[in-house]
Amino acid sequence: MNLTRRNFLAWAGLSAVGAVACEGFGIREGEFSLQSPVSLPEDLVRGKDNWYATLCRTCPSSEGIVVRVMEGRAKKIQGNPLYPTNQGKQSARCEGGLQAMYHPERLAGPMRRSGGRGSGQFEPLDWPAALDIFKVQLQQNGDNMLMVTEPLRGHMAKLVDRFAKAMGGKHLAFDGMDNIAYRAAVKNVFQQDSLPDFDIANTNFLLSFGADFLSTWVSPTRWAVGYGEFRQGEGRERGTFYQVDSRFSTTAASADQWVPIKPGWEGYLALSLAYVIISEGLQAPGVDVSALTDGRGVGALDAFRPEVAGARIGLPDHLRGETPTEFIQNLAREFAGHRPSLAIGGGSAGAHTNGLFNLEAIYALNYLVGSVGAEGGVRFNPAPPIDDLPASADVASLSDWFSAAEDLNGGRTKLVVVHQADPAHGLPGALNFRDALNRDDLFIVSLSPFIDDTSALADLILPDRVALEDWGSDIPEPGPGYQTLGVQQPVVNPLSDLDPRSSADVLLAMAGELGKQSDLPWNRFEDMLRETSKQLFDLNRGSIKAGSADEFWTTMLQQGGWWDENAKAAVPLDTPAGLFNKIAAKAAEPRYPGLAPGRDTFHLVPFSHISLLDGQNAHLPWLQAVPDPITTVAWQTWLEINDGDAERMGLREGDVVMVSSTASSSIRVPVYPHPGVPPKVVSIPLGQGRRDGPETATDRPAAESSNVMDILEPSQVEGTGALAWANTTVTIIPTGTSIKVSKFEGIVRAIEVGNTEAERIIITEIPGEH
């Protein structure tokens, strides 16, 4: 054959197509079809796709999701449009659920420790043998058992609580950045047991203190949906948003005005705003100021006059050209004058010794503007539809962990059962919890599908199914303002080379074998859910119309849950008498243990990583690769420092510094200077610094992946026992070494903003111009 141009092209084309299709990627022939300009699209892909509703478990807010399943494989996760809280939307974290399922380093089956504790040496064994070991341990040491789980709601919470009680042991739920102080403030200010929702979509003026509610705080997806409407919803005026925060968070970046404040002084600002509102008579019509202040009026808040508070709370001298006093006065006038207005607080504002006071002062503002239980304000949730289903995640406080560590060290705890929680990584280093677990007279059972710092110390690992393969339920907290029960169903089976077993089923089986049927009378977790489904069917109301209990169950699985839009919370709330007096009497400055704030020290404000959160997602490659919105850093820890401070210390991006507090050790972190950090404040994200586990979490040198929890002072939010995680003062010493920062910024040629008309890519206008 002559090698003509035509022949050459034909052969080259054929062989290239063949190679790519058959073995280019080591993928089964036909697994992927090449995009072809001649074939019809429906010819290209074999199989039919189905979308199944279930719940996402990569963040504590448990969004309702739908999962696309083709030929027994889950392909894509999207928000469930029917689900009341996230309304079809999702966060960057949700997609991570797929990678948890198909993660290359998922544990295949039960394993027993074969080397020294923490050596990482395990040998596989079969399920009957593994369960026998677990049973014997429960028999012998059940009454000296400590169960550690992730924060739980719904059926799993009920099951674990009953299991721990039946065995005679204790149950603690672990959350790296707990909401204990926030919960206590809600209880004290609104007399509510469950966390409230915020009607951001209908608010005109939003004032947030420290709450990173568009990124990681409590229920970010739900509130982001509301935020979109708040900004540009049809038929409404664009809302105004102030973020008071000691750190320039993703949420602060979206605010019209970021108000930097000295860490821990948020409560003083809130009461100062209350002072202006009361003294100028700006409260909403019908608000009984006299009752709120026990008849003392503005006198109750005299200590918080803007002239006094403004000088103490560390506002910049000329924010928008106003003095601190003027700024507070103008902010109070705006806040009270653009109703409905809403004040929310959380995150770092509640993570100081005086965190409870800060949050109470912030939420009390809502009474002055009439936003409690009103449209555009704080919205409360009713009790759950089924009585004995926990609707709030009861999380252990720092003082609980201290006593748990004491019990471990004193040999009083003999058995630890860990379910998808990693206290060895996530508790402050000063607790030495890792050492407390590292004892020979202790037996540790891990139910985690992955190795993490705690599982690495385990004697026995019984890998759980991941969320997309397992049953479950959730009562979202906060709910959407009416009764809601989300249902999680297995959308696919585990791959054939994996042999995980649902932890809920394992616990039920153990309870059965140990004769605890009276406490846990179910054979399988699914039975428990079906029983609830029957109870809901008998209620005969809500989102599902069904002729039989079976039809009800199927519909509930199809929709992803059950909800009743009419079952709302009673709008309660008499004006709490003397609320402001009580809060003002509690007023306290933040106290910093350890290093005194001074010239060479910095306040450390840690924060929850946008995709890794407190580290629970650190093993998921997509979520490691998500660039932080502010710094664009991925795969590494970093320290945010003001660019002026950095220049003064001769630090440039990537320079590694040693960060030390008086608590236990120090960590090494590369710096990322930027103009949004307040001077004398530094921030480090949580999430990195795992010592054991999949490569995606652990394959970086210590300076790139350090754990900020290691250096936090173990101080508590007074009155709650919660960890005051924003309460540490640190020194920063350059180490002289430098690394390359792994960041997205600079990979594509950026076009500078605003130098010339042509170079401006983000065009900004002032509201009302159109």
Please give the size of the binding site for other proteins, defined by CB under 8 A.
120
Determine which residue in the list 57, 61, 89, 424 makes contact with other proteins, applying CB under 8 A: 89
Stretch that binds other proteins, among 349-357, 394-402, 557-565, 758-766 (CB under 8 A): 758-766
- Contact call for residue 113 and other proteins (CB under 8 A): no
Look up residue 371 and give its DSSP letter.
-
Q: Determine phi and psi for 54, rounding to 5 degrees.
A: -160, -160
Determine which residue in the list 678, 689, 693, 714 makes contact with other proteins, applying CB under 8 A: 678
Q: Which residues pair with 65 in a beta bridge?
A: 54, 79
> How far, in Å, CA of 631 to CA of 640, rounded?
8
Task: For CA atoms 217, 221, 224, 229, give the dihedral sign.
Answer: negative
Q: Which is nearer to other proteins, 79 or 606 (CB)?
A: 79
Q: Which is nearer to other proteins, 219 or 473 (CB)?
A: 219
Q: Which is nearer to other proteins, 70 or 588 (CB)?
A: 70
Site string for other proteins, 233-252 (x = CB under 8 A): -----x-x-------x-xx-
> How far, in Å, CA of 684 to CA of 605, rounded?
7
Residue 146 CB, shortest distance to other proteins, in Å, is 33
List of residues 6+ apart from 198 with CB closer than 8 A: 213, 223, 226, 342, 344, 377, 378, 379, 478
Residue 43 CB, shortest distance to other proteins, in Å, is 10
Q: Which residues pair with 734 in a beta bridge?
A: 657
Q: Kind and range of the H or E element at 666?
A: strand 666-674
- Contact call for residue 5 and other proteins (CB under 8 A): no
Tokens of 323: 């003095």
Residue 90 CB, shortest distance to other proteins, in Å, is 5
- Per CB under 8 A, which of residues 417..446 are in contact with other proteins? none
- Per CB under 8 A, which of residues 14..33 are in contact with other proteins? 16-17, 20, 24-25, 27, 31-33
Closest to 263 measured CA to CA, from 250, 248, 245, 251: 245
- Contact call for residue 769 and other proteins (CB under 8 A): yes
> How far, in Å, CA of 627 to CA of 631, rounded?
8
Q: Which is nearer to other proteins, 91 or 455 (CB)?
A: 91
Determine which residue in the list 73, 534, 591, 652 makes contact with other proteins, applying CB under 8 A: 73
Q: Which residues pair with 379 in a beta bridge?
A: 197
**Strand 197-198, strand 378-379: pairing:** antiparallel
Determine which residue in the list 109, 125, 165, 257 makes contact with other proteins, applying CB under 8 A: 257
- Tell me how far CA of residue 318 lies from CA of 308, 315, 507, 622, 641, in angstroms: 17, 8, 60, 42, 21
> How far, in Å, CA of 442 to CA of 411, rounded?
8
Residue 449 CB, shortest distance to other proteins, in Å, is 13
- Contact call for residue 95 and other proteins (CB under 8 A): yes
Only one residue has tokens 């999680």, namely 488
Stretch that binds other proteins, among 157-165, 482-490, 530-538, 625-633 (CB under 8 A): 625-633
- Contact call for residue 642 and other proteins (CB under 8 A): yes
- Per CB under 8 A, which of residues 486..505 are in contact with other proteins? 495
Tokens of 334: 């705006």
- Per CB under 8 A, which of residues 41..60 are in contact with other proteins? 41-42, 44-47, 51
Determine which residue in the list 296, 582, 674, 691 makes contact with other proteins, applying CB under 8 A: 674
Q: What angle do CA 715, 720, 722 make, to 5 degrees?
A: 45
**Strand 482-488, strand 472-474: pairing:** antiparallel
Residue 508 CB, shortest distance to other proteins, in Å, is 29
> How far, in Å, CA of 47 to CA of 591, rounded?
62
Q: Which is nearer to other proteins, 8 or 25 (CB)?
A: 25
- Per CB under 8 A, which of residues 579..618 are in contact with other proteins? 610-611
- Per CB under 8 A, which of residues 306..365 are in contact with other proteins? 316, 319-320
Stretch that binds other proteins, among 429-437, 561-569, 594-602, 634-642 (CB under 8 A): 634-642
Determine which residue in the list 192, 221, 243, 688 makes contact with other proteins, applying CB under 8 A: 221
Closest to 553 measured CA to CA, from 643, 473, 625, 496: 473
Stretch that binds other proteins, among 254-262, 296-304, 523-531, 683-691 (CB under 8 A): 254-262
Stretch that binds other proteins, among 118-126, 395-403, 531-539, 629-637 (CB under 8 A): 629-637
- Contact call for residue 762 and other proteins (CB under 8 A): yes
Secondary structure class of 669 (helix, strand, coil):
strand
- Contact call for residue 106 and other proteins (CB under 8 A): yes
Q: Which is nearer to other proteins, 131 or 677 (CB)?
A: 677
- Contact call for residue 120 and other proteins (CB under 8 A): no
Q: In this structure, are residues 360 and 209 in contact, taking their beta carbons and an 8 Å threshold?
A: no
Q: Which is nearer to other proteins, 642 or 720 (CB)?
A: 642
Q: Kind and range of the H or E element at 269?
A: helix 266-279
List of residues 6+ apart from 92 with CB closer than 8 A: 610, 611, 623, 626
Stretch that binds other proteins, among 159-167, 271-279, 422-430, 668-676 (CB under 8 A): 668-676
Site string for other proteins, 181-220 (x = CB under 8 A): ---------------------------------xx----x
- Contact call for residue 754 and other proteins (CB under 8 A): yes
- Contact call for residue 701 and other proteins (CB under 8 A): no
Which residue type, as a one-letter code, is found at position 47? G
Residue 757 CB, shortest distance to other proteins, in Å, is 8
- Contact call for residue 753 and other proteins (CB under 8 A): yes
Q: Which residues pair with 682 in a beta bridge?
A: 604, 641
Q: Which residues pair with 728 in a beta bridge?
A: 604
Q: Which is nearer to other proteins, 521 or 767 (CB)?
A: 767
- Contact call for residue 256 and other proteins (CB under 8 A): yes
- Contact call for residue 38 and other proteins (CB under 8 A): no
Determine which residue in the list 53, 55, 59, 98 makes contact with other proteins, applying CB under 8 A: 98
With b for 16 or more beta-carbon neighbours within 10 A and e for fewer, the 378-414 pattern comes to bbbbbebbbeebbbbbebbbbebbbebbebbeeeebb
Q: Which is nearer to other proteins, 191 or 493 (CB)?
A: 493
Determine which residue in the list 140, 644, 735, 737 makes contact with other proteins, applying CB under 8 A: 644
Site string for other proteins, 260-299 (x = CB under 8 A): x---------------------------------------
Tokens of 621: 């490659």
Q: In this structure, are residues 491 and 100 in contact, taking their beta carbons and an 8 Å threshold?
A: no
Q: Which is nearer to other proteins, 3 or 762 (CB)?
A: 762
- Tell me how far CA of residue 223 lies from CA of 89, 236, 480, in angstroms: 11, 17, 10
Residue 654 CB, shortest distance to other proteins, in Å, is 11
Residue 334 CB, shortest distance to other proteins, in Å, is 10
Stretch that binds other proteins, among 354-362, 374-382, 508-516, 745-753 (CB under 8 A): 745-753
- Contact call for residue 67 and other proteins (CB under 8 A): no
- Tell me how far CA of residue 381 lies from CA of 94, 138, 229, 617, in angstroms: 25, 38, 22, 29
Tokens of 661: 């507090």
Determine which residue in the list 323, 632, 664, 738 makes contact with other proteins, applying CB under 8 A: 632
Count Cβ atoms within 10 A of the Cβ of residue 67 and give its class: 0-12 exposed, 13-18 middle, 19 or more buried: buried
Secondary structure class of 573 (helix, strand, coil):
coil
Reduce the secondary structure of 272-322 to three states and give it as a string.
Answer: HHHHHHHHCCCCCCCCCHHHHCCCCHHHHHHHHCHHHHHHHCCCCCCECCE
- Contact call for residue 466 and other proteins (CB under 8 A): no
